[in-house]
Amino acid sequence: MLNVNLGPFALQVSHLLLLAALLVAAGVGHLVGRRQQVGISNSLTDMLWAGLLAARLAFIATWFDLYRSAPWSMLDIRDGGFSPWAGLLAASSVALWRGWRRPALRQPLIWGLTAGLLAWGALFGVMAALDKASKPGLPTVALTTLAGAPTDLAAMAKGQPMVVNLWASWCPPCRREMPVLAAAQQQETQVTFVFANQGESDTAARRYLGAGQLNLANVLLDPNTALGRAIGSTALPTTLFYDASGQLVDTHLGELSAASLASKLNRLRTRTHPTTKESRP
């Protein structure tokens, strides 16, 4: 859904902004409608569920070719696959329908939703300004290749957009998403993919890659998890998306599906080439 690039916890920030806006809307709607003993909490709940459902279905429809091979993954909302405009349209439709059916709800809904949108806009603006001021770039953390050579992310960038995946062999969602990332690395030749193993030895990393027959390039070792600490991540997997100038564009906590990865790569391309329209693979 909405995303503010405040490190790897961006998704949680957008959730908090939405929750704050809903609370403001419910509070203002209650104050406006209390004389008629009319509240809008139920309407807001219905709007939320309708919006989430429509946003998810629209995202699935957009990337259906990628979901087709794994239909059960359509139910896994942890991949973060939502289309905000479809959700907004559905939520607005519910509000209009409720207001049409119950005239007493109209004024509380109008005032509540207006207050909620204003609160969301103000908070979003503050977060966006903080993000712009911080301008998170590539962390300057010393890493090593599987061959033992020292390197860092800046040396791997090659002037291209970069996707940095933090993983470990003991992490089940890391293992599940690795084939998706491996396939993307083979296909996306204009994007540099880096796989930074967290807290394991080269032996453990090699054993896992060999057992899974994963032909990955740019596998790096971070035995002291310095990269995870530098970006503020305490959970695996974490995937970071940087543009060609090394600025953080997007983040994802948890397992990536093929569809969610494709969507984020499209955003990365748009950031790198602003005139390029988003398109399906």
pLDDT digits (tens, 9 = 90+) for 241-259: 999 988 888 888 888 989 9
**Among residues 87, 112, 134, which one ends one of the domains?**
134
83-124 per-position pLDDT tens digit: 888 999 999 999 999 999 999 999 999 999 999 999 988 987
In this structure, is residue 278 part of a structural domain?
A: no
Query: Are 35 and 130 within one domain?
Result: yes
72 and 110 co-located in one domain: yes
Residue 130 lies in a domain: yes
Note the pTM of the prediction, 2 decimals. 0.75
Residue 249's alpha-carbon distances to 78, 91, 182, 245, 258, in angstroms, are 19, 28, 21, 10, 19
In a domain, 1, yes or no: no
Find out whether 124 and 118 touch, Cβ atoms under 8 Å. Answer: no
> For residue 255, what are the CA distances in angstroms to 32, 102, 156, 176, 177?
43, 43, 24, 7, 6
Which of 79, 113, 134 finishes a domain? 134
What is the reported pLDDT for 8? 40
Query: Same domain for 194 and 122?
Result: no
Q: Token pair 């906590």 is at which residue?
A: 253
Structure confidence by residue, pLDDT tens digits, 204-244: 999 999 887 888 999 999 999 999 998 888 789 999 999 99
Q: Indicate if 64 and 183 belong to the same structural domain.
A: no
168 and 244 assigned to the same domain:
yes
154-169 b/e (C-beta count within 10 Å ≥ 16 → b): eebbeebbbbbbbbbb
Identify the domain containing residue 103 by its residue range. 10-134
Residue 151 has pLDDT above 90, yes or no: yes
Q: What is the dihedral of CA 43, 45, 47, 52, to 10 degrees?
A: -170
* Domain final residue pick, 100, 134, 168: 134
| Residue 17 in domain | yes
Whether 57 and 172 map to the same domain: the answer is no
Could you tell me if 36 and 85 lie in one domain? yes
Q: Are residues 164 and 267 in the same domain?
A: yes
